[in-house]
């Protein structure tokens, strides 16, 4: 009998045959012919290598893989999804969607020339991000703001510019991993600063920091523990006590606050997430925060603080390597304007989601269930903020639940539809949480569910 590996290899189609397969011809779209040949050749080569590695079924679905790849290259497969997970800031789904005004401002900045570093009054060189600085000053009282690529860059740059070659004191309970490889001890090492850990995992006092301060100390660093919470027998100094201690010893205080919150989360029945305004008021010298968590803007890192320190950070060579581009600056500016106008709850999507009332969510899901028919019902659920904010805390919510013998398959059909829907499985059924389905997505969602269950 022929050996199965040879049989699998012989069964592979030729490049020509696959290029001319009707499904592939159909999927070619506007792509250039030679490119289709390259895609096909690459897919066949990969399949051959997989067969040689011992997987004799590797050719199964080869044509479909080529068709999918062509659809992606030609831009016919969108990766825009409806978020039915109930996780408001979902890193795997791109974190915060921005407001319509923010998207428009980013689009305008992207497609035009703009006075990015030109003062239109004098026609001379002006400061990049000057409007954002003035907005942040108004909102939080911060003297200066520098916008960089993301918060990881903000922390790295801040430490490199202020503390390289010297000690930075961190509580053992805060030497954490935020996720995605961002570990405070590693970032410190990368910046050239020396980590000095004090206290214990659950309890650290001002006196622990104080006794570690010596001539080589550059700063005290406070880190928001982000994705995890220690509860029970815990102690952690107030930020204002730490900043007072730092000032008394002539060293810097730095806070990595994470989420960049400007509103009070306790209004929605959640715990209180520290706000940028509170951090500034505590007197901390520099604060680092993300732009696309609770701020609700595009991916960015904000370095906020005292003039003299932020200026030192801005002049560090690494600052240029991590600086924000013009679309990001336009997006952050437009997002901050919603806070200045007091309209963030209605306009900034993450705050829109957080501030929906349960009655409204109940009504919304009841409407969905009624229009979907007998397989759909409404369930009480819990949504979460996500993105490392308020771990373990939930927001009451409602979901539409679709009955199916094979919920995993239904969830997959929903993901692979023309408008992909990401759901979650609750008690063995597919659930789509109303809190994270954005306004205006209702019809597209119902259409997608109908297709998936028909
Ligand atoms: C999220 C987070 C970071 C990383 O921020 P990015 O914007 O993802 O780079 C760093 N520190 C804390 C405390 C965070 O919560």
Contact 356, 435 (CB under 8 A): yes
CA of 357 to the centre of ligand 1 (A): 29
CA of 250 to the centre of ligand 1 (A): 27
Region 85-111: mean pLDDT is 96
Q: Quick one: pLDDT at residue 232?
A: 86
The per-residue pLDDT of the chain, averaged, comes to: 94
* Ligand 1 in reach of 255 Cβ (< 6 A): no
Ligand 1: which of 178, 190, 227, 294 to mutate, judged by most atoms within 8 Å of the beta carbon? 178
Residue nearest to atom 13 of ligand 1 (CA): 258
Q: Quick one: pLDDT at residue 219?
A: 98
Dihedral, 301, 304, 310, 311 alpha carbons, nearest 10: 90
Hey, which bits of 316-445 come out as E strands? 376-386, 389-402, 421-422, 424-426, 429-433
Least confident stretch, 82-86, 223-227, 336-340, 445-449: 223-227
Compute how many other C-beta atoms are within 10 angstroms of the C-beta atom of residue 246.
22
Residue nearest to atom 7 of ligand 1 (CA): 151
* Ligand 1 in reach of 290 Cβ (< 6 A): yes
244-289: per-residue pLDDT in tens?
A: 999 999 999 999 999 999 999 999 989 889 999 999 999 999 999 9
Ligand 1: which of 89, 154, 388 to mutate, judged by most atoms within 8 Å of the beta carbon? 388
Query: Beta partners for 197?
Result: 170
Ligand 1: which of 147, 289, 290, 386 to mutate, judged by most atoms within 8 Å of the beta carbon? 290
Contact 19, 44 (CB under 8 A): no
CA of 31 to the centre of ligand 1 (A): 39
Is the pLDDT at 170 greater than 80, yes or no? yes
CA of 120 to the centre of ligand 1 (A): 35
Least confident stretch, 117-126, 160-169, 258-267, 371-380: 117-126
191-212: per-residue pLDDT in tens?
A: 999 999 999 989 999 999 999 9
CA distance 307 to 286: 10
In this structure, the chain runs to a length of 454
SS3 string of 113-140? CCCCCEECCCCEECCCCHHHHHHHHHHH
Q: At what angle do helices 33-52 and 4-11 cross, to 10 degrees?
A: 180
CA of 29 to the centre of ligand 1 (A): 40
CA distance 63 to 59: 9
The residue written with tokens 């949480």 in the block is 433
* Ligand 1 in reach of 258 Cβ (< 6 A): yes
287-312: per-residue pLDDT in tens?
A: 999 999 999 999 999 999 999 999 99
The residue written with tokens 């408008």 in the block is 419
What CATH number is given for 100-344 in this structure? 3.40.640.10
Pick the CATH number of 82-93+349-453 from 3.80.10.10, 3.90.1150.180, 3.90.1150.10, 3.55.10.10: 3.90.1150.180
CA of 222 to the centre of ligand 1 (A): 13
176 Cα nearest atom in ligand 1:
13
Q: Quick one: pLDDT at residue 345?
A: 97
Contact 35, 42 (CB under 8 A): no
CA of 52 to the centre of ligand 1 (A): 43
224 Cα nearest atom in ligand 1:
13
Burial 191-209 (b: 16+ CB within 10 A, else e): bebbbbbbbeeeebbbebb
Q: What is the DSSP string of 194-240?
A: EEEEES-SSB--HHHHHHH--TTEEEEEEE--TT----SS-B---HH
The residue written with tokens 């051959």 in the block is 48
Considering the chain, tell me which residue range(s) the CATH 3.90.1150.180 domain(s) occupy. Answer: 82-93+349-453
CA distance 257 to 284: 11
The residue written with tokens 């109930």 in the block is 86
Residue nearest to atom 11 of ligand 1 (CA): 258
Region 84-99: mean pLDDT is 95
* Ligand 1 in reach of 433 Cβ (< 6 A): no
* Ligand 1 in reach of 298 Cβ (< 6 A): no
CA distance 247 to 115: 39
CA distance 251 to 342: 37
Region 370-395: mean pLDDT is 91
Is the pLDDT at 398 greater than 90, yes or no? yes
Q: Quick one: pLDDT at residue 1?
A: 64
91 Cα nearest atom in ligand 1:
8
CA distance 432 to 448: 12
Nearest to 425 by CA among 198, 54, 85: 85
* Ligand 1 in reach of 222 Cβ (< 6 A): no
Please tell me whether residue 3 adopts helix, strand or coil conformation: coil
Is the pLDDT at 227 greater than 90, yes or no? no
How far apart are the two ends of the chain, measured CA to CA in Å? 45
Phi, psi of 198 (to 5 degrees): -135, 165
Q: Quick one: pLDDT at residue 231?
A: 83
CA of 46 to the centre of ligand 1 (A): 37
20-32: per-residue pLDDT in tens?
A: 999 999 999 899 9
Considering the chain, tell me which residue range(s) the CATH 3.40.640.10 domain(s) occupy. Answer: 100-344
387 Cα nearest atom in ligand 1:
1
CA of 292 to the centre of ligand 1 (A): 10
* Ligand 1 in reach of 150 Cβ (< 6 A): yes
Is the pLDDT at 444 greater than 80, yes or no? yes
pTM attached to this predicted model: 0.92
Q: Which one-letter DSSP state was computed for residue 85?
A: S
């Amino acid at each position: 009998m022929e050996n199965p590996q040879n049989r699998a290899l012989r069964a592979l189609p030729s490049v020509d045959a696959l290029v001319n397969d009707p499904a592939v011809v159909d999927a070619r779209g506007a792509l250039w012919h030679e490119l289709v040949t390259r895609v096909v050749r690459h897919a066949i080569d990969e399949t051959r290598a997989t067969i040689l590695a011992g997987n004799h079924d590797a050719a199964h679905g080869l044509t479909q893989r080529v068709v999918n790849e062509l659809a992606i290259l030609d831009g016919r497969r969108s990766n825009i999804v409806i978020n039915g997970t109930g996780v408001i800031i979902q890193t795997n789904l791109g974190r915060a969607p921005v407001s319509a005004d923010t998207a428009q401002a980013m689009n305008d900045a992207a497609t035009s020339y703009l006075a990015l570093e030109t003062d239109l009054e004098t026609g001379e060189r002006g400061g990049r991000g000057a409007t954002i600085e003035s907005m942040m000053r108004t909102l939080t009282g911060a003297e200066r703001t520098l916008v960089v690529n993301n918060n990881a860059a903000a922390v790295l740059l801040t430490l490199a510019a202020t503390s390289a070659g010297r000690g930075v004191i961190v509580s053992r309970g805060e030497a954490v991993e935020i996720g995605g490889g961002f570990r405070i001890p590693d970032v410190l090492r990368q910046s050239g600063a020396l980590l000095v850990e004090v206290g214990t995992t659950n309890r650290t006092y001002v006196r622990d920091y104080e006794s570690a301060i010596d001539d080589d100390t550059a700063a005290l660093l406070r880190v928001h523990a982000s994705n995890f919470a220690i509860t029970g027998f815990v102690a952690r100094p107030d930020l204002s006590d730490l900043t007072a201690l730092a000032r008394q010893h002539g060293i810097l205080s730095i806070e990595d606050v994470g989420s960049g919150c400007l509103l009070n989360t306790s209004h929605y029945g959640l715990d209180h997430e520290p706000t940028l305004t509170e951090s500034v008021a505590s007197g901390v010298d520099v604060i680092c925060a993300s732009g696309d968590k609770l701020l609700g803007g595009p991916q960015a890192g904000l370095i906020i603080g005292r003039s003299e320190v932020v200026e030192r950070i801005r002049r560090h060579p690494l600052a240029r390597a991590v600086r924000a581009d013009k679309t990001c600056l336009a997006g952050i500016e437009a997002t901050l304007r919603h806070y200045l106008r007091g309209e963030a709850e209605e306009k900034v999507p993450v705050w829109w989601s957080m501030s929906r009332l349960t009655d409204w969510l109940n009504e919304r899901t009841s409407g969905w269930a009624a229009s979907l028919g007998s397989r759909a019902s409404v369930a009480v659920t819990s949504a979460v903020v996500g993105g490392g904010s308020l771990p373990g805390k939930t927001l009451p919510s409602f979901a539409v639940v679709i009955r199916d013998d094979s919920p995993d398959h239904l969830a997959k059909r929903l993901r692979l539809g023309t408008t992909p829907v990401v759901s979650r499985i609750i008690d063995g059924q597919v659930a789509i949480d109303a809190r994270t389905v954005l306004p205006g997505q209702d019809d597209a969602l119902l259409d997608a569910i109908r297709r998936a269950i028909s």
